[in-house]
A and B are shown apart, each in its own frame.
Chain A
Amino acid sequence: GAVVSQHPSRVICKSGTSVKIECRSLDFQATTMFWYRQFPKKSLMLMATSNEGSKATYEQGVEKDKFLINHASLTLSTLTVTSAHPEDSSFYICSASGTGGIEQYFGPGTRLTVT
């Protein structure tokens, strides 16, 4: 099956700093990648959708200047949380879909803790 990896798996950063999370499709070309945020015991909340080579489309209420998304290649998308604050602490999950594919393949998630 299609494999999606995320790095790092967990990160702790200080308030005010920026942190970058990478999402890679390992065995297929991901034309579309999605970024989700998940709070404890809650469902996945879509943050943004990105197509390779295009600007990301952000969901309502998600600050695009705070959550920078880059999808520069068919196998890599990055999410940068800028000027992180404790309220940004969460579980961030990416997923990817290939050309013409309907299924989303999810990464293992990244646990971000902002102190």
Chain B
Amino acid sequence: QQQVKQSPQSLIVQKGGISIINCAYENTAFDYFPWYQQFPGKGPALLIAIRPDVSEKKEGRFTISFNKSAKQFSLHIMDSQPGDSATYFCAAKGNAGNMLTFGGGTRLMVKP
């Protein structure tokens, strides 16, 4: 059972545009929601993370929006750049242990 559903699977955005990736979860025990960026042949790198007591968190061009009642959260990349082209994974962690449940990933391509 996939506990974190991520969409879309792939996304093409023009340079300067906004990239939006959505995730939905089922387990209400999740209490930490990170986003990771992965380039081909590399390990994932933490991009930004949010806790459910906050509805939005912004770091530079990256913003997480969180809707606790809908059990959804999304990543917005403002002013998308070709260097942002990568695979993005959302994840969720429960309140016991540090185990992460990953979404299926979104391959983002930013066209120059």
- B46 contacts the other chain (CB 8 A): yes
**CA A103 to CA B32, docked complex, whole Å:** 9
Interface size on A, residues (CB 8 A): 24
**Is A106 within 8 A of B43, CB to CB?**
yes
For A108, the chain B residues whose CB sits under 8 A away are 42-43
Contact with A along B37-54 (1 / 0, CB 8 A): 000011111100100000
In the complex, the answer to whether B42 meets A109 with C-beta atoms within 8 Å is yes
B-binding segment of A38-46, A64-72, A75-83 = A38-46
Instruction: State the A residues within 8 Å of B (CB).
Output: 4, 6, 32, 34, 41-44, 46, 49, 91, 93, 95, 97, 101-109, 111
Q: Which 8 A-B pairs have the closest CB atoms?
A: A106-B43, A97-B98, A109-B43, A108-B43, A106-B44, A43-B102, A43-B105, A93-B43
